[in-house]
C-alpha cells in the first residue's frame, strides 16, 4: 500500500526532472544561437572597421559617431527612426560612420593617391545603425550613404561604437570599442541576453596623423 502511494510521487518527480532538463536544454540552445548571431555580426563589423581608418573627405573627419538619443543632430544623410530603448539601458545606440579604401582593381589592396603616399578613400559613407523593429526590439543595419540596408543582426538591445575620447581614454586613441547586446524571443525568465565586446585598432595610426 505504501509502495503504491509513493508511485505517483516518484512519477511526478521524474516528470518534473525531465521538464526541468528540457527547459535547461532549450535555454542552452537559445544561448548558443545568440553566440552565433553575435559572432556573425561582429565578424562583419571588425573586418570592415579594421580596413577603415582616420580620414578627411569633403571637410568631414571620419570616422564620426551618431548618438542614438540625438539623431536630429546627425547629418541629414544619416538620420533615421530612433531605436527602441531597452529597459534599464542608459544608452541604446552610438552609431559609426566611416570610409573604406578604394580598391579599383579588386585585388584586396587599397589604392593610393597620385603621390603614392596616402590611401585613396572611397567617398561612399558606410554606417552601422540601429533601427526599430515592429516587435519592439531593434535591427543592426549596415548602410551606404544612408541606403542599401543590409541587416547584420536582429533582436538587438544595444549597439555602441566608442572611441577613446568618449570613454575617458580607457583604451588607445587608435582603437574603437564595439559593444553588441542581443536578446532572444523568450518571455519572462525564459528570455536570454548576451553582450559581446570587441576592440578594433584602425590601421593608419591616430586621429592627429595626416
pLDDT band at 106 (very low <50, low <70, confident <90, very high): confident
Q: What percent of the chain has pLDDT over 90?
A: 55
Measured CA distances, 200 to 82, 95, 175, 180, 188 (Å): 26, 15, 5, 14, 35
Q: What is the DSSP letter of 112?
A: B
92-120 average pLDDT score: 81
- The answer to whether residue 3 is domain-embedded is no
- The answer to whether residue 7 is domain-embedded is no
Cβ proximity of 142 and 152 under 8 Å: yes
* Contacts with 91 (C-beta within 8 Å, 6 or more apart), sequence order: 67, 68, 69, 158, 160
Q: pLDDT higher for 117 or 178?
A: 178
Q: What is the pLDDT of residues 5-19, one digit of tens each?
A: 666 666 666 555 555
Q: Is the pLDDT of residue 33 over 80?
A: yes
pLDDT value, residue 119: 80
Place of cell 524571443: 185
pLDDT value, residue 53: 93
- The answer to whether residue 208 is domain-embedded is no
Q: Is the pLDDT of residue 210 over 50?
A: no
- The answer to whether residue 101 is domain-embedded is yes
59-71 average pLDDT score: 92
- The answer to whether residue 6 is domain-embedded is no
pLDDT band at 209 (very low <50, low <70, confident <90, very high): very low
- The answer to whether residue 28 is domain-embedded is yes
Give the range among 34-38, 42-46, 111-115 with minimum mean pLDDT. 111-115
If phi > 0 it is left, if psi is from -120 to 50 it is alpha, else beta; for residue 148 that is left
Q: pLDDT higher for 135 or 109?
A: 135
> What's the domain range around 112?
17-201
Q: What is the DSSP letter of 69?
A: T
Q: What is the pLDDT of residues 145-166, one digit of tens each?
A: 999 999 999 999 999 999 999 9
- The answer to whether residue 70 is domain-embedded is yes
Domain count along the chain: 1
Provide the grid cell at 179: 559593444
Amino acid at each position: 500500500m505504501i509502495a503504491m502511494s509513493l508511485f505517483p510521487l516518484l512519477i511526478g518527480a521524474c516528470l518534473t526532472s525531465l521538464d526541468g532538463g528540457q527547459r535547461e536544454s532549450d535555454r542552452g540552445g537559445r544561448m548558443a544561437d545568440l553566440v552565433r548571431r553575435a559572432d556573425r555580426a561582429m565578424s562583419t563589423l571588425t573586418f570592415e572597421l579594421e580596413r577603415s581608418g582616420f580620414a578627411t573627405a569633403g571637410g568631414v573627419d571620419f570616422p564620426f559617431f551618431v548618438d542614438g538619443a540625438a539623431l536630429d543632430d546627425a547629418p541629414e544623410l544619416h538620420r533615421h527612426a530612433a531605436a527602441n530603448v531597452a529597459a534599464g539601458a542608459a544608452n541604446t545606440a552610438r552609431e559609426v560612420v566611416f570610409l573604406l579604401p578604394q580598391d579599383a582593381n579588386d585585388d584586396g589592396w587599397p589604392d593610393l593617391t597620385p603621390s603614392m603616399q596616402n590611401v585613396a578613400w572611397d567617398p561612399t559613407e558606410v554606417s552601422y545603425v540601429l533601427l526599430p523593429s515592429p516587435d519592439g526590439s531593434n535591427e543592426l543595419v549596415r548602410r551606404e550613404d544612408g541606403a542599401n540596408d543590409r541587416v547584420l543582426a536582429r533582436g538587438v538591445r544595444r549597439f555602441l561604437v566608442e572611441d577613446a575620447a568618449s570613454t575617458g581614454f580607457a583604451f588607445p586613441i587608435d582603437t574603437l570599442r564595439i559593444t553588441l547586446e542581443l536578446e532572444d524571443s523568450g518571455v519572462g525568465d525564459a528570455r536570454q541576453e548576451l553582450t559581446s565586446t570587441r576592440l578594433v585598432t584602425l590601421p593608419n595610426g591616430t586621429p592627429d596623423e595626416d
